[in-house]
Chains A and B, each alone.
Chain A
Amino acid sequence: MKNSDVIIQTTTKVVFFMIFLFSIHIFFAGHYTPGGGFVGGLLTASAIVLLLLAFDIQTVRKALPFNYTVIIAIGLLLALGTASASILFDVPFFTHAYDDFRLPLFGLTSLHSAMMFDLGVYLVVVGATMTIILSIGSDD
């Protein structure tokens, strides 16, 4: 491929981080405003798809050397682990807990265990989307 993709590649290098940061924002916004793990995961996956469009599969595999099946499994474990933590306290499954913490940079922040569940959802969505796209895109 001798075509010069210099404009799309340069733009991608900038836009990728904007989409990625926006996906993180959407992910954290989920509790009080529209958003959450599912759209956040889809946005992250779409940022990686943009990289795939601008470069090629080998380059992206080298830049992001993840096994996406394992990411699905980690996400599932995280979600199940968050839900199962309630078993240890002998309260019904899926009972969440929250508290306010004074964090160094953020000040007074309310942390809720539902976020860990959402992180699991996020990882599963990213892993599943990328597995689908990569296995259709590459013929190995």
Chain B
Amino acid sequence: MINLLLFPVLIPFLTAMILMFFPKKVHAQRTVVIIGLAGSVAAAVWLLATVMTDGIQAVTLGSWPAPFGITMVSDPLSAGLVLTSNLITLFIAWYSFRSIGEGRERHFYYPAMMFMLTGINGAFTTGDIFNMFVFFEVLLMASYVLIVLGGEKRQLRESIKYILVNVISSAFFVTTVAMLYSVTGTLNMADISAKVSEIGQSGILTVIAVMLILVFGLKGAIFPLYFWLPGSYAAPPVPVLALFGALLTKVGVYSITRTVTLLLPNDPGFTHELLMVLAVLTIIAGCIGALAYFDLKQIIIYNIIIAVGVILFGVAQMNSAGLEGAVFYLIHDMLIKAALFMLIGVIIAVTGTSNLREMGGLMKTHPGLAWTWLIAAFGLAGIPPLSGFFGKLLIVEGAFEADNLWGGVIILASSLVVLLSVIRIFIHAFWGEPQPIAGVSAKVYRSLFIPAALLTAVTVFYGVGTEWLRPVMTDAAEILHEPSIYIDAVLKE
């Protein structure tokens, strides 16, 4: 099956097309979405197994030889990310049944979700930089639909900001690709990498690298470029927020990781220094935000920014411990952010507010929710048997190996802030005197809580099963560390 690596991209795409034929039939929409996503998850598992046994999978579309056609490449990193994003979307689609509302479901909610997943999987899988731009646009256009769908006043205001920022960053992306093309004369990432190591790294390539960090930093919300994120992500309803928070910024982080490791292996001094400083500033800015708010959504949104900083700090170390930690932490963070957003969605549904000061005493009425929240919170902070621990351990180890003592200390200190910010939610919402709550019927509560709890269980498995998952992460980090493996897999013969 030479085309296997395309299946996780094509199945959501096909599902979206089928869904467009009957937008008003809500039950049929739900059934088709779940079937499509289950198929896509199965394909992604199969792909990951194939990549682990047979090495990197690459196919150049249209039977053209490698640098001339569009190459799609699946290495352990991208296959792992594709599997994670399919799995998260499956849980969020299930969670949407009771929470998104029939009005939105009738107006192309599920097709937009599937088109976004197509773009995300494509951006993770592609091996061609212009194709990556196209997949970015696919996921961004679908995300414009999701952010504005419903037409509330706040959504309209925030979607204008969101679209404006993304249109500008996409224009920068095109300019950067044009510069890269005029320097190297190719768009295939493996071929660019090979050309760059032939001609050596000139000043213009460093400029291009900084521009790429600027572009993907705007998409992935790193410090000075994260200003749009807190407002825009708080506007749409919770399932959309979970989808955005878990997946969208991580595509930017993946792209920085991929381009920085692949395109600039020779002279990492300046760019990696820059990336490291930005990552540390991102962590600090996120920590300030996470402590400043008494709003559930804002606290978790600022935690996204902290995690982006932590992952990029790991990438900037450029040693195998740092990169492996970054890969571990990236997948952990996608899973745990989706779980946390789904859980705050349950809390908001139960209490009818997202203001922490107006809630309390949920421990007595909803003990299951309370303990699940506590497990997810500990997982986020990185308490040992849970999922956030091992990635952060490796990142800190990488920092100490690379003599970035202060960076490592800041990462460790940021864990305390993260723990404080989520435990504050636990204390205010679950302890104390019970407040009058809006309440939802037991049936709705169950159908919101079960997917959220199952996803939390997946993160616990991710933490406990570190030893089983380690080979995937080690291979992924090795390919990031040694771009020649990637180049040879794409430009074989």
Tell me the A residues contacting B by CB distance below 8 Å. Answer: 69-70, 72-73, 76-77, 80, 84, 86-87, 90-96
Contact = CB atoms under 8 A, between A and B. Distances in A.
Contacts of B62: 92-96
A95 B14 contact: no
Interface stretch (B2-10, B276-284, B294-302, B318-326): B2-10
A113 to B, nearest CB: 11
Interface string B1-28: 1110010001001100110110100000
A80 B17 contact: yes
Given A69-B23, A92-B62, A94-B62, A77 B17 contact: yes
Contacts of B18: 73
Indicate the member of B10, B60, B62, B69 with the most A CB atoms within 10 Å. B62
A92 B10 contact: no
Interface string B49-64: 0000000000111110
A92 B20 contact: no
Interface residues of B, number: 19
> For chain A, what secondary structure do more than half of its interface residues adopt (helix, strand, loop), or is it mixed?
helix
A77 to B, nearest CB: 5
Given A80-B13, A95-B63, 18 more contacts: A76-B17, A76-B20, A77-B17, A80-B10, A80-B14, A80-B17, A90-B2, A91-B2, A91-B63, A92-B2, A92-B59, A92-B60, A92-B63, A93-B3, A93-B6, A93-B61, A93-B72, A95-B61
Interface in B64-87: 69, 72
Nearest to A127: B20
Nearest to A87: B3
A95 B14 CA distance: 19
Given A69-B23, A70-B20, A90 B1 contact: yes
Contacts of B2: 90-92
Interface in B364-405: none
Nearest to A67: B21
Contacts of A90: 1-3
A77 B14 CA distance: 7
19 contacts: A69-B20, A70-B20, A72-B20, A73-B17, A80-B10, A80-B14, A80-B17, A84-B10, A87-B3, A90-B3, A91-B2, A92-B2, A92-B3, A92-B62, A93-B59, A93-B61, A93-B72, A95-B62, A95-B63
A73 B1 CA distance: 27
A84 B17 CA distance: 14
Interface of B: 1-3, 6, 10, 13-14, 17-18, 20-21, 23, 59-63, 69, 72
Contacts of A87: 3
Nearest to A91: B63
A90 B59 CA distance: 12
Contacts of A86: 3
B19 to A, nearest CB: 8
A-B complex: 9 closest residue pairs judged by Cβ atoms: A73-B20, A94-B61, A94-B62, A95-B63, A76-B17, A92-B59, A87-B3, A93-B3, A92-B63
Contacts of B17: 73, 76-77, 80
Nearest to B19: A73
Contacts of A69: 20, 23
A86 B17 CA distance: 19
Indicate the member of B3, B18, B59, B63 with the most A CB atoms within 10 Å. B3
A96 B64 CA distance: 11
Contacts of A76: 17, 20
A84 B21 CA distance: 20
A66 to B, nearest CB: 13
Contact of B21 (A73, A94, A95, A96): A73
Indicate the member of A72, A80, A87, A93 with the most B CB atoms within 10 Å. A93
B148 to A, nearest CB: 14
B15 to A, nearest CB: 11
Contacts of A92: 2-3, 59-63, 69
Contacts of A96: 62
Contacts of A70: 20-21
Contacts of B60: 92
Nearest to B6: A93
Contacts of A73: 17-18, 20-21
A69 B17 CA distance: 10
Contacts of A72: 20
A3 B192 CA distance: 64
A16 to B, nearest CB: 28
Nearest to B64: A92
Contacts of B63: 91-92, 95
Contacts of A95: 61-63
A71 to B, nearest CB: 10
Nearest to A88: B3
Contacts of A93: 3, 6, 59, 61-62, 72
A87 B3 CA distance: 7
B14 to A, nearest CB: 6
